[in-house]
């Protein structure tokens, strides 16, 4: 093991610096925005975006792989190769991965390890003079050190989360009061005030919108009229910008599952559509998130789809590949990025996350799985069903909605 986790940052110092920056960012918001935005909705969304999900260990240590590693040794008269038994082990976790970059107690030495997906991984060697019992004790100590660091972090993360609403509302209201007092002072001078054109006294609810970057392929130098029209495409950054509000909405639903328990797939979909359309501004009138069919979300540019997300409930492994088939049937050969929003009613979401990689790997279009730094998400590269020489990125975003007495969606 050559890497460390819970290293190198200081959790308390980082949270304090972020607290100061958060206040500075709010105080630097424009006067128009602060005076016109819905205060309650702004605070609610800002709290959600700044909330940290504390780390938690969901299972015990598992052996992922055992193998032999060749090591060069120096004897009395020559060198020789020794094959040393090795174990790759892992711990499954949930929470914000950035917390592995910081520790609360500087006297608590960071353990060695690495993060892969939702697993904390480490390699242990069984050298000369070591026994299975001594190796097991080393692994147990490694696990306990990780749990100790997580326990050290938890009070600070909980304090941060519990104070967020007060912190954000305090800075926002102080900023608003500052602008109001300034306006009262200017008004008391008695001179007319020229307003900028286009001001209408209101702002749409939510944080300042982002612009989706849609790139359009350059056409050939000479194009006969009517025979070629470039197809817009979605770059990686814009893809991540779209997934971010989807992720935020899903986590909001997870925090209060009872409020959404009776909703069907198409009704849950509207929760995501509302924030997507409120979080992005279009490039002209040709860009918006809309509904296509019963359960999918579509982004169109100039009447051409560039992003599709399918909303589905987990119904077990038997029907999972049919979800992929349904999604890929919507696509053209030009489509390169898509998503599946998977709502899991099971009491425990971890076994579902464990099954998905194997299920996707069994699909005829599977190419590979890629790493993602988001808990509860899996990213795969498939072959495009319309042209199997082209890659198709599929992000599966799992949201946990435990089963209730309400009737579930389709």
Query: pLDDT per residue over 228-284, tens digit each?
Result: 344 556 778 888 888 888 888 888 888 888 877 777 777 788 888 877 776 655 433
Supply the pLDDT for residue 225: 46
Supply the pLDDT for residue 174: 94
Which regions of the chain are under pLDDT 50?
1-2, 193, 195-209, 211-230, 282-288, 290-292, 294-295, 405-410
Integer angstrom CA distances of residue 219 from 216, 223, 224, 405: 9, 7, 11, 56
Q: C-alpha dihedral over 41, 46, 49, 51, to 10 degrees? A: -110
Rounded CA-CA distance 385/217 in Å is: 21
Q: How far is CA 360 from the centre of its chain?
A: 20
Supply the pLDDT for residue 324: 92
Phi and psi torsions of 127, nearest 5°: -85, -175
Phi and psi torsions of 409, nearest 5°: -75, 175
Supply the pLDDT for residue 296: 73
Supply the pLDDT for residue 82: 87
Please check whether residue 278 is in contact with residue 206, taking contact to mean a CB–CB distance below 8 angstroms: yes
Q: From the CA atom positions of the chain, what is the Rg in Å?
A: 26
Rounded CA-CA distance 118/110 in Å is: 19
Enter the DSSP assignment of 313.
E
Supply the pLDDT for residue 238: 80
Q: How far is CA 102 from the centre of its chain?
A: 19
Please check whether residue 397 is in contact with residue 340, taking contact to mean a CB–CB distance below 8 angstroms: yes
Quote the tokens at residue 211. Answer: 């612009």
Rounded CA-CA distance 277/279 in Å is: 6
Supply the pLDDT for residue 290: 47
Give the start-to-end residue ranges of the domains of the chain: 9-173, 231-400
Q: By three-state DSSP, how is residue 344 classified?
A: strand
């Amino acid at each position: 093991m050559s890497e460390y986790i819970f290293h190198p940052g200081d959790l308390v110092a980082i949270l304090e610096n972020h607290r100061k920056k958060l206040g500075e960012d709010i105080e630097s918001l424009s006067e128009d925005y602060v005076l016109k935005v819905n205060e309650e909705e702004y605070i609610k969304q800002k709290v959600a975006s700044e909330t940290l999900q504390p780390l938690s260990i969901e299972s015990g240590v598992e052996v992922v792989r055992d193998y032999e590693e060749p090591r060069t040794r120096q004897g009395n008269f020559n060198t020789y190769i020794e094959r040393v038994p090795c174990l790759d082990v892992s711990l499954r976790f949930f929470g914000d991965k950035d917390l592995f970059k910081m520790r609360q107690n500087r006297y608590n030495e960071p353990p060695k390890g690495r993060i892969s997906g939702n697993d904390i991984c480490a390699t242990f060697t069984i050298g000369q003079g070591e026994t299975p019992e001594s190796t097991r004790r080393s692994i147990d100590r490694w696990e306990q050190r990780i749990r100790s660091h997580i326990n050290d972090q938890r009070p600070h993360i909980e304090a941060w989360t519990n104070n967020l609403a007060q912190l954000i509302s305090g800075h926002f209201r102080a900023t608003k009061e500052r602008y109001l007092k300034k306006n009262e002072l200017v008004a008391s001078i008695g001179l007319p005030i020229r307003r900028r054109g286009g001001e209408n006294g209101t702002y749409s609810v939510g944080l300042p919108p982002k612009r989706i970057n849609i790139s359009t392929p350059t056409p050939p130098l000479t194009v006969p009229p009517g025979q070629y029209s470039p197809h817009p495409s979605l770059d990686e950054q814009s893809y991540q910008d779209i997934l971010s509000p989807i992720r935020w909405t899903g986590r909001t639903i997870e925090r209060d599952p009872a409020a959404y328990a009776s909703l069907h797939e198409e009704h849950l979909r509207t929760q995501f559509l509302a924030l997507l359309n409120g979080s992005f501004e279009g490039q002209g009138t040709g860009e918006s998130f809309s509904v296509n069919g019963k359960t999918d979300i579509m982004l169109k540019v100039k009447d051409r789809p560039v992003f599709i997300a399918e909303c589905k409930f987990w119904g077990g492994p038997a029907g999972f590949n049919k979800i992929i088939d349904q999604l890929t049937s919507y696509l053209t050969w030009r489509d390169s990025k898509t998503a599946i929003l998977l709502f899991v009613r099971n009491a425990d979401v971890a076994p579902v996350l464990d099954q998905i990689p194997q299920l996707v790997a069994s699909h005829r279009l599977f190419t590979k799985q890629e790493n993602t730094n988001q808990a509860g998400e899996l990213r795969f590269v498939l072959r495009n069903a319309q042209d199997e020489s082209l890659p198709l990125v599929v992000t599966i975003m799992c949201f946990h909605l435990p089963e209730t007495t309400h009737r579930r969606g389709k």
